[in-house]
Each structure stands twice: as structure tokens, then as C-alpha cells.
């Protein structure tokens, strides 16, 4: 194999591919990237056996076809530190030579036959959705997934399909985020009302795909896998097994206290009000009364903080406590200048809504 790469295009490909390389693995081949040069294109693959990426690299000149499997970290370091616009990669007898204008590197690789197969995208798409819409949905939900949980279903994002709508739902048991996005076309009857759980790692990769607002993702469901294609990138992933919680049961529908708040103003108040929180007293109290909301934090170790805000409210007074970081997380992604806060009793969850397609449920905490 001999290929001349545009260094910037190669660096962009490696940036995404190395996202799936496992930090630790008993299989050394999984720490490698497979490079396959065809007649006039080059495909690079990476996988951890759960998630795989196939990336067709642009701006290449193939002088000789072939395959090579080489350590991802070595190749990435060389490409990152190179000052050349063009790098030449040539493989021979299990090693790869990388040539720049004033540099010469040789990396020892592995046989291409040892590398696991990474699925490509074949056939008709089951789902088509705008890349921009899906990435917006990912940003509004992924943060609420569980980081570590023995309930594996909480480590992913639920996809619910219905007609021309896709709902994304994520929860870690203390909060829940749900958004709804439009599909490019209605799904066919065999997957109508389908529910699948996509791992958080896979959702994070989808959020990293570069493109413009006109790009469309094509999605196929194959057995217990999801295969997603967009432009030069194909991402394949196992789905999370298990049952997602019946989240509809915890979304309040009977609240009578509703307040419209400015997103930036509340973000500032929560950030300032939580400056004196500690690990032992990690909470902020919202005291809501007629035309007023007060954010307070009291910590025996650090001190007190109080921020007052005028609001349009004429309902019953209520005091309720929340984790301030959980509030900041959602205010970063609501995507609108204002949002609606709905409350019931101080021991029931808070409900944040933005438009008709996004909601966030936040469990209260005791501040006594």
C-alpha cells in the first residue's frame, strides 16, 4: 500500500476514530486502526467490539492498493506533530513508513486479517433524520444519562419512533431529559413505535460528526445493532439490552404552579447562589412567592448566599431544593431565551419545559 494524505484531512479522521479506541484491552489489535486503500479511495476503521467507525478519507492519492493495521496512538502523534501539508504512508511486510518533507517514521503493525470486521452501510435506510436536528437532540439529552450504573439501560439514550417523530429520552434516576425531533420522512410500519436504547458512547460519537445543516443521517436497524451513515462516516454499535424505565409515569401532568423565567437570568442566579455549596451541602433552595423568587444556599462550612429575582407569579408560595449543577446542566441546553418552570409540592419533582418538544424532570432534594 502507498497513499499520499492531506495531513489535515487525515488528522480529522483520526480525531473521530480514536474516540472508540479502548484505553485498556487484552486484545492489542483493538488499539490499532485498519487502513484500506482501494483504487481511488481510502477507508480507515476502528472498533472496541461494541462500537465501530468506518471513515472514508478525502483528499488522498492512492499509488498502490493494500491494507495495514497500525497502533492508533503512534500514528495520531506523528500526524499531530507533523508540519507538512502532505504525508505519504507506505506499508510493506507488516510495517508502515510515514514520510514528510524532512521526516521518516517506521511503525510496526499487524496483519490486516487479524482485525475484526467493522460493518459498512448497505441497503435502504430505516430512518432518515437531519444531522443538525439529531445533534441538537443529543445535546439536550445525553448529559442526563447515568455515568455509572448497574442498570445498563440508564447508560444509554432511548429512541422512540412514531410516524415522522423521534423522541430521545435519558435519565440517571435523579433527573430526566426528553426531546422530540422531526424525521426526514415517516418510518415504515415494521418499525413504527419501535423503542431502542443507544449507548451514550455512540450518541457522543454522533455529536462529533462534522457536517452542515443540510446533511442527513441514514440509519439501519440490524438484529441488535444500529448502523448510521452520514457523508464519509459509518458508525455501527450494539444496542443496550434491558428495559428502559417507564418514564411517562414520573412526568407530572397535574401541576398548578407555573412560572415563565429568563434562561440567562436564572443561570446566573443559580451559579452565583451555588458558589458557597460544598460536597456535604450541595443544594440550592428556591423560595417562590408573589412576584418574587429567591435563590439561597446555606453551608455551615462556607457561609450563606442569597439572590433575589422579580417574576410574574401570583400563585401559592413554595420552597423547594434542587441540585444546582443539575439545574445548570439543563439551562445550558434549553435553547430558548425563556423556559417554563412547573411545580407541585416541595417533595415532588420540578418540571422544566422549553417549547413543545423539550422537557426536563428534576427530583427535589431536602435542605434540612
Which residues make up the CATH 3.10.150.10 domain(s) of the chain?
Answer: 2-114, 127-247, 251-362
d(CA 227, CA 162): 19
User: How far from chain centre, in Å, is Cα 332?
Assistant: 15
pLDDT at residue number 286 = 96
pLDDT-above-90 percentage for the chain: 80
DSSP 224: T
pLDDT at residue number 188 = 82
* φ, ψ (nearest 5 deg) of residue 297: -135, 130
**Most distant pair of Cα atoms in the chain: their distance:** 78
Take residue 339 and report the three cell numbers written for it: 423556559
**How confident is residue 149, by pLDDT bands cut at 50, 70 and 90?**
low
d(CA 51, CA 1): 27
pLDDT at residue number 251 = 95
Q: Are 271 and 264 in contact (CB under 8 A)?
A: no
d(CA 341, CA 353): 7
pLDDT-above-70 percentage for the chain: 99
Crossing angle of the two packed helices 263-273 and 324-331, in degrees rounded to 10: 150
Whether the full predicted model's pTM is greater than 0.85, yes or no, is yes
DSSP 73: H
Burial of residue 110, with CB atoms counted within 10 A of its CB: 0-12 exposed, 13-18 middle, 19 or more buried: middle
- pLDDT beyond 80 at 254: yes
Strand partners, 37: 42, 66
Cβ-based neighbours of 44, under 8 Å, separated by 6 or more: 13, 14, 17, 33, 34, 35, 36, 54, 55, 57
pLDDT at residue number 230 = 93
Cβ-based neighbours of 263, under 8 Å, separated by 6 or more: 331, 334, 336, 337, 338, 339
d(CA 132, CA 124): 21
DSSP 239: P
Q: Write out the CATH class of domain 2-114.
A: alpha beta
d(CA 231, CA 80): 24
Q: Hey, which bits of 257-310 come out as E strands? A: 257-262, 284-289, 292-299, 303-310
User: Which residue in 266, 213, 238 sits closest to 50, CA to CA?
Assistant: 238
Q: Which CATH number fits domain 127-247: 3.30.365.10, 2.170.190.11, 3.10.150.10, 2.30.30.30?
A: 3.10.150.10
Q: Which CATH number fits domain 251-362: 3.10.150.10, 3.30.70.1520, 3.30.460.80, 3.40.1280.10?
A: 3.10.150.10
**How confident is residue 40, by pLDDT bands cut at 50, 70 and 90?**
confident
Amino acid at each position: 500500500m502507498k497513499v499520499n494524505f492531506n495531513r489535515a484531512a487525515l488528522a480529522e479522521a483520526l480525531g473521530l476514530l480514536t474516540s472508540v479506541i479502548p484505553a485498556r484491552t487484552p486484545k492489542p489489535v483493538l488499539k490499532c486502526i485498519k487502513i484500506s486503500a482501494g483504487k481511488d479511495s481510502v477507508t480507515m476503521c476502528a472498533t472496541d467490539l461494541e462500537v465501530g467507525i468506518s471513515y472514508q478519507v478525502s483528499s488522498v492519492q492512492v499509488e498502490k492498493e493494500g491494507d495495514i493495521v497500525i497502533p492508533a496512538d503512534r500514528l495520531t502523534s506523528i500526524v499531530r506533530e507533523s508540519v507538512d501539508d502532505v504525508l505519504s504512508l507506505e506499508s510493506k511486510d507488516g510495517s508502515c513508513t510515514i514520510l514528510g518533507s524532512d521526516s521518516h517514521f517506521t511503525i510496526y503493525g499487524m496483519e490486516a486479517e487479524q482485525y475484526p470486521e467493522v460493518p459498512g452501510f448497505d441497503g435502504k435506510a430505516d430512518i432518515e433524520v437531519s444531522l443538525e436536528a439529531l445533534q441538537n437532540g443529543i445535546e439536550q439529552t445525553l448529559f442526563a444519562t447515568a455515568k455509572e450504573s448497574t442498570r445498563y439501560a440508564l447508560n444509554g439514550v432511548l429512541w422512540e419512533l412514531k410516524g415522522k417523530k423521534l423522541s430521545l429520552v435519558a435519565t440517571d434516576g435523579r433527573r430526566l431529559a426528553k426531546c422530540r425531533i422531526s424525521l426526514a420522512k415517516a418510518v415504515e410500519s415494521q418499525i413504527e413505535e419501535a423503542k431502542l436504547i443507544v449507548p451514550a458512547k455512540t450518541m457522543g460519537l454522533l455529536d462529533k460528526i462534522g457536517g452542515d445543516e443540510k446533511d442527513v443521517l441514514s440509519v439501519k436497524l440490524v438484529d441488535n445493532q444500529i448502523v448510521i451513515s452520514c457523508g464519509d462516516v459509518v458508525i455501527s454499535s450494539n444496542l443496550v439490552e434491558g428495559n428502559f424505565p417507564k418514564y411517562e409515569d414520573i412526568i407530572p401532568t397535574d401541576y398548578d404552579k407555573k412560572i415563565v423565567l429568563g434562561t440567562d437570568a436564572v443561570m446566573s442566579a443559580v451559579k452565583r447562589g451555588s458558589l458557597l455549596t460544598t460536597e456535604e451541602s450541595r443544594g440550592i433552595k428556591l423560595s417562590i412567592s408573589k412576584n418574587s423568587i429567591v435563590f439561597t444556599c446555606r453551608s455551615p462550612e462556607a457561609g450563606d448566599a442569597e439572590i433575589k429575582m422579580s417574576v410574574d407569579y401570583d400563585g401559592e408560595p413554595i420552597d423547594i431544593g434542587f441540585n444546582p449543577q443539575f439545574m445548570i446542566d439543563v439551562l445550558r441546553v434549553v435553547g430558548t431565551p425563556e423556559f417554563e418552570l412547573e411545580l407541585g409540592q416541595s417533595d415532588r419533582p420540578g418540571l422544566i419545559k422549553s417549547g413543545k418538544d423539550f422537557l426536563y424532570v428534576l427530583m427535589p432534594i431536602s435542605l434540612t
